[in-house]
Structure 1
Amino acid sequence: MTTIRTIIVLTLFFVLTSSLLAKPIVFGTQEFPPFSQTKSGKVVGPGVDVIAAVMKRAGLDYKIKSGVWKWIQKSAKDKNGDVSALFFIGKNAAREKWLNFSPPILETTYGFFAKKSSRIKYSNDVPLVNSSIGVYGPSNTSKNLAKIRKKPGNDFKTELYKDSVTVFRVLGRGSNLKFAFSNGDVGRAIIKDEGLDNLQYVGTFKKLNYYFGFSKMKIDAATTKKIMDAYKSLIADGSIARILAGYNMTPAAK
């Protein structure tokens, strides 16, 4: 009888311990409209909707945390930080060292915005000279602008700002900025939300995909596989494309 009682107690202990250890995956993001933003105290947007679908199919619990991007990334990198996944992000070599990336989720652009009155159009074939260009940074966006600056013939001044909204406000009020360099979807959303009707998109530098990134240190291989399989399944059956269509966004090519 004592042996049976011991087995029952140990079984209950391991079940309870396992449930306590199975912590929800915390997805970190920032105020990044139209991809993610806080409304009435709740984070909303296509990224949130995709996460909900993926985690439901994977059968995993999750939470979403929004904050200053610098600290969200720090929490994801720190072994004691609560964030274990990031969205939406671009892929680069530095991030690939510590993150497992989802399949590409959506297609967007990096490009230039200018005042309508300037009648400027941007082309990758025309050098950028005698210009001041505003960009949010340090960020993946500012890194891409730095690459443009290194191209032969380009000679412009880069002005970094604390966020993308500030870049567009400064450009819109008639500063010395000639362009704002930004994600195309983000820039259009800011123009709409801020009522900056005197600004417009004037040309694309390049197309790119956005992803979800998962900490290699914090999420084990079996859980990562379960999540990736869920992404692939939802892409294959068109679920993610339907979510993005509701936001007038383009799914990444399969």
Structure 2
Amino acid sequence: MKRYLWVGMVMWLAFCSLSNAENLHFATKVTPPFAWETKGRAEGPLVDVLKAICKRGQFNCVVEVMPWHRGLTMAANGELGGAFPQTTGLPEREKLFYMTEPIVQTAYAVFGNTATHIVFHQGRDLAGHTLLVAGPSGSLATVEQTVHDLKLAGVKVQVVRNNITVLKMLAAQRYGVDTLTVMNRDDAQSLIEEYKVKNVKWLGDLKPIYYSIGLSRRKVSPDVAQRFLKITHDLLSDGSVSIILKQAGLKSTMPQ
């Protein structure tokens, strides 16, 4: 009889543990090679990193792929628990989200048509050119900030719906052979390969960027957020994140 009571107590405690686990609903966007959607499911190395964090922290996590502006707005308003990938170093984002340490490093890069003779070394080399940039996005914010900070003259920015459209317009010389774009380097190279875009080449990196995971300050309690951030730090430090990202050809901010 005592044995059955003991087994029953263990099962009850396990049930209570599961029912008390924190439920976290995240939004992400289609940004290969970081995250994408397959048959209605979110997949990709950043999704795998999130799953590893949730498993160690015993969080009940759900990831939904949706248009970035909608997902980011819902998370900021407290309708969702968080959103990723988040570009680090944006003060306006940090007011709305608890941000993990940077998880993956990449860069905003400049791409042009293969027929262009433009040589890119630094931000000042963008002066006088038309730039096709997807927006709203971190790429657009970076271009606007670069133009402002460097007081670049003659820069014309054409905002386009998404990155693949930008690359196709660039390849077709829609605005001329010397039109350029700025976008995430790994994202661009993945799209070029996936959609077999020809006549587009990398010209150089404009600015290093780092992606993290953001937890909604309106939805997630400070205690839960700090535990999530601590687990992320531990997984970065012990090399778990590096292993996940390396399998996808990406670089962790704490490579082992």
TM-score, normalized by length of structure 2? Answer: 0.86
User: How far apart are residue 222 of structure 1 and its match?
Assistant: 1.9
1:242 matched to 2:239:
no
The residue aligned with 2:113 is 115
The residue aligned with 1:140 is 138
Q: How far apart in 2 are the matches of 1:153 and 1:62?
A: 44
The question of whether the paired residues in 1 share the 8 Å contact of 2:77 and 2:218 is answered with no
The residue aligned with 1:26 is 25
The question of whether the paired residues in 2 share the 8 Å contact of 1:148 and 1:154 is answered with no
Query: Cα distance 1:154–1:252, how it changes in 2: closer, same or farther (>3 A)?
Result: farther
Query: Cα distance 1:173–1:125, how it changes in 2: closer, same or farther (>3 A)?
Result: closer
User: How far apart are residue 155 of structure 1 and its match?
Assistant: 2.1
Taking the TM superposition and a 5 Å limit, the aligned residue runs for 1:213-224 are: 213-224=214-225
The residue aligned with 1:74 is 73
TM-score, normalized by length of structure 1? Answer: 0.87
The question of whether the paired residues in 1 share the 8 Å contact of 2:134 and 2:162 is answered with yes
Taking the TM superposition and a 5 Å limit, the aligned residue runs for 1:3-42 are: 19=19, 24-42=23-41
The question of whether the paired residues in 2 share the 8 Å contact of 1:171 and 1:179 is answered with yes
RMSD: 2.0
Number of equivalenced pairs = 237
SS at match of 1:201: strand
List alignment gaps of at least 5 residues for structure 1.
Answer: 1-11
Q: How far apart in 2 are the matches of 1:23 and 1:228?
A: 14
The residue aligned with 1:99 is 97
The residue aligned with 1:84 is 81
Q: How far apart in 2 are the matches of 1:84 and 1:142?
A: 26
The question of whether the paired residues in 2 share the 8 Å contact of 1:127 and 1:154 is answered with no
The equivalent position to 1:149 in structure 2, one of 147, 150, 159, is 147
User: How far apart are residue 126 of structure 1 and its match?
Assistant: 4.4
Letter in 1 for 2:139: T
Aligned-residue sequence identity (percent) comes to: 22
Q: Deviations over 1:56-95 (max 9, x none)?
A: 011111100111111111211223x2x2111111120101
The question of whether the paired residues in 1 share the 8 Å contact of 2:239 and 2:254 is answered with no
The residue aligned with 1:180 is 181
The residue aligned with 2:54 is 55
